[in-house]
Amino acid sequence: MENRLLVTASPHITGRETTRGLMGNVIAALVPCIVAAALIFGWQALLLVGVTTAACVGFEYLYCLIMKKPNPVGDLSAVVTGIILALNMPVTMPLWIAVVGAFIAIVLVKQLFGGIGANFANPALVARIALFSGFASRMTAVVIPDCVTVDALSSATPLQTADMGSLPVLDLLLGRYGGVMGETCSLAILIGLAWLLITRTISPVIPVTYLATVAVLFAIAGEPVLANLLTGGLLFGAVFMATDYVTSPFTLRGKLVFGLGLGLITFAIRMWGDLPEGVSYAILFMNLLVPYINNLTRQVPLGGGKKHG
């Protein structure tokens, strides 16, 4: 009798998703943020997005060409990194600094650690923190919709420059205040989130847990909850950076722990830190803990059980 018992390595069940398809969904989700940035800040926003994205793609192509590695440009991951990085900058950012950020994200954070799937943290996130450390005056130049530049002194968010709790909800949703390009229009971010959830590109666990934790903590502290949710980088970070496949946990329990940790650190930095904005540092710190979270929350294999002595 023919032996029908086949032993193969996992995974045994695969889907139709591809890296290119998933990245395409993320790009589609980012389009409302790009359009909102152009409407709020002008055509310079489109120029910055284009230059940063082109630089990311170019650096990835050149690095792989020089190192004689398979070229991954077609998977669109460099495009996503470029768009997210650009949306994390003020519209007044000089283009050459944006190119420096693209080099840091693609070459130093992504490719030197092995390429897509091997980076220790979100490349755009690390590049933003590096630019903030090296070009603080540029990264903290907040442009309000009427094109008046405001020096936020120590943050690129409007949390420090105005009483955000007094702004109407409509202004918070439409981005009628100063900030970096991708973070001001909450409505655009929510539209992108809806697309990512409808296409099942991301799980809602991390963003929901993250935002809920922040909301509960600020409510307990007696601070304006809605203003803290809809201003700064919280909403954009929760949707587009904290949900990165490579740098976030893969188990349900791990995602819950990850989101809870993000909320606690963000709240602590905003309440007691020197900077009112703590999203980037919270995500980076939790990215570094992801391997440990995965190990501690690993699911028991089917048929497995506790070992008996």
Q: What is the pLDDT of residues 175-204, one digit of tens each?
A: 877 778 988 899 999 999 999 999 999 999
pLDDT the model gives residue 155? 40
Tell me if 192 sits within 8 A of 239, measured CB to CB. Answer: yes
Q: Give the gyration radius of the chain's Cα atoms.
A: 20
What is the three-class DSSP state of 203?
Answer: coil
* Tens-digit pLDDT profile for residues 113-142: 888 888 889 999 999 999 998 888 888 776
* Tens-digit pLDDT profile for residues 191-238: 999 999 999 999 999 999 999 999 999 999 998 898 889 888 899 999
Residue burial 73-106, b: 16+ Cβ < 10 Å; e: rest: eebbbbbbbbbbbbbbbbbebeeebbbbbbbbbb
Domains of the chain, residue spans: 20-296
pLDDT at 160 over 80: no
pLDDT the model gives residue 214? 96
Q: What is the homologous superfamily of the domain 20-296 according to CATH? A: Ammonium transporter AmtB like domains (1.10.3430.10)
> Identity (one letter) of the amino acid at 117?
G
Mean pLDDT for the chain overall = 85
Round to whole Å and give the CA distance between 195 and 29.
6
pLDDT the model gives residue 7? 62
Tell me if 237 sits within 8 A of 189, measured CB to CB. Answer: no
Query: In which band, very low, low, confident or very high, does the pLDDT at 265 lie, cut at 50, 70 and 90?
Result: very high
Beta bridge partner(s), residue 179: 143
Q: Please tell me which residue, 9 or 17, carries the higher pLDDT value.
A: 17
Residue burial 229-266, b: 16+ Cβ < 10 Å; e: rest: bbbbbbbbbbbbbbbbebbbbebeebbbbbbbbbbbbb
